[in-house]
Copies of this chain bind each other. A is one copy, B any other.
Amino acid sequence: MSLPTNRRSVLAGAGALTGSLIAGGRALGQEPRKLGYAIVGLGGYANIIMPRFAECRHSRLTALVSGDPAKARRIAAEYGVPERNIYDYANFDRIRDNPDVDIVYVILPVALHHEYTLRAAAAGKHVLCEKPMAMNAGEAAEMIAACDAANVKLMIGYRSWFESHNREAMRMTAAGELGPLRLVTSQHGFNIGDPNQWRLDPALSGGGSMMDIGIYSLQSARYLSGEEPVEVAAFEQTDRSDPRFRAVEDTLLFQLRFPSGAVADGVSSYSSHHGRSRAVGAAGWLDMEPATGYGGHRMRVHLEGRTREHEPPILPLNQFSGQLDHLSQCVLTGAEPIVPGEEGLRDMRIIDGMYQAARERRPVAI
């Protein structure tokens, strides 16, 4: 079976990941060097990430950046971060002089990703940036260029690439175990609360559900197909009288066409709960639900007319720690991350296309 070039790179990435994680798990006779992370933005997701450094072999939490000094001091005490390594948004650039910090992890509202990635790169620090990478593809390209120019690595926080079930699904589809792939369906959503949160302010978020939870549907479509779409269509449903959706979209149904003839059918929603993915080939399908949550993943495989639960090989690290250590190892070895800035840029181009397709009510070439 001939695989498209990008599929080969996914496979290569999978091999590198497994290899690096196994190496990371080996007793090497000495403590491996742990790279220092500065977390920028101490919101809800940072609170998910920070406890996971405890399981890392190559990464440790060494600095915090926050506009709230009291909160920063409290968290610093909790995680053993020295007070001298607490920054605010005004003095952030001084991080350049701090040898405790190798990598800056940007967990800010989307509108700030571009600025803080550029400032981190200018400070000579490697960057892990949350998804979506930027407000649009133009910003994303600038972030890549800035990190290239500063000779620092840029990785996007696509944690599902480090999660056992999703990696197994990538392997199975890439190996052709479902036969030639026909369709990927992926649905992600939740019922969003407080109408005044930054996610519902387009000046901070860049958009609605598709710039947040919907990225899991798009990512799943891409990494389960192993292809890049050439065309996108989108069908939006937003109740503008709902105070949550005065300025951003609620639900987007999107369709992608891949060069092989496979298609993807995705859902992104801020008003209903979803979290599942299915890849369907001519010979059968695999299904994940929950597909991309923080835990509790389940996978089923349907082949030869039978559906069975499928337990993937479990990676040595959970998805959060695995993501942190992967970038550390890339920095240590000079390897390229499996989810570099370019991976984020591809999503941004497609999301830009989705918004155009929804607005113009016609399919858009990517």
Contacts of A280 in B (CB 8 A): 272-274
Chain B nearest CB: distance from A363 CB in Å?
A: 6
A182 to B257, CA, bound (A): 25
Known A267-B183, A271-B182; judge A363-B282 contact (CB<8 A): no
Contact across chains for B263 and A185 when beta carbons are under 8 A apart: no
Q: Quick one: CB contact mask for A326-366 with B, threshold 8 Å, 1 for yes?
A: 00000000000000000000000000000000000111000
**A237 contacts B by Cβ under 8 Å:** yes
Complex interface residues of chain A between 243 and 277 (CB less than 8 A to chain B)? 251, 253, 255, 257, 261-263, 265, 267, 269, 271-274
Contact across chains for A183 and B361 when beta carbons are under 8 A apart: no
Contacts of A265 in B (CB 8 A): 253, 265, 267
**A223 contacts B by Cβ under 8 Å:** no
Contacts of A187 in B (CB 8 A): 185
**A239 contacts B by Cβ under 8 Å:** yes
Complex interface residues of chain A between 163 and 189 (CB less than 8 A to chain B)? 182-183, 185, 187
Contact across chains for A263 and B253 when beta carbons are under 8 A apart: yes
Contacts of A251 in B (CB 8 A): 182-183, 263
Known A251-B263, A253-B263; judge A182-B272 contact (CB<8 A): yes
A39 to B269, CA, bound (A): 47
Select which of B182, B235, B269, B363 is within 8 A of A255 by beta carbon.
B235
Contact across chains for A273 and B267 when beta carbons are under 8 A apart: no
Contacts of A257 in B (CB 8 A): 235, 237
**A284 contacts B by Cβ under 8 Å:** yes
Contact across chains for B183 and A272 when beta carbons are under 8 A apart: yes
A255 to B234, CA, bound (A): 10
Count of A residues near B, CB < 8 Å? 32
A267 to B267, CA, bound (A): 13
**A233 contacts B by Cβ under 8 Å:** yes
Select which of B239, B273, B274 is within 8 A of A261 by beta carbon.
B239
Contacts of A302 in B (CB 8 A): 273
Closest Cβ neighbor of A289 among chain B residues: B307
Closest Cβ neighbor of A241 among chain B residues: B261
Chain B nearest CB: distance from A301 CB in Å?
A: 13
**A191 contacts B by Cβ under 8 Å:** yes
Contacts of A272 in B (CB 8 A): 182-183, 280-282, 285
Complex interface residues of chain A between 200 and 238 (CB less than 8 A to chain B)? 233, 235, 237
Chain B nearest CB: distance from A241 CB in Å?
A: 10
A57 to B271, CA, bound (A): 46
Chain B nearest CB: distance from A132 CB in Å?
A: 22
A–B Cβ pairs within 8 angstroms, 30 of them:
A182-B251, A182-B271, A182-B272, A183-B251, A183-B272, A183-B274, A185-B185, A185-B267, A191-B282, A233-B233, A235-B263, A235-B363, A237-B257, A237-B262, A239-B261, A251-B263, A253-B255, A253-B263, A265-B265, A265-B267, A271-B282, A272-B280, A272-B285, A273-B280, A273-B284, A273-B285, A273-B302, A274-B280, A361-B362, A361-B363
Could you list 10 further interchain pairs (A-B, Cβ under 8 angstroms) beyond the known A185-B187, A185-B267? A182-B269, A191-B282, A233-B233, A235-B257, A235-B263, A253-B255, A265-B267, A273-B280, A273-B285, A273-B302
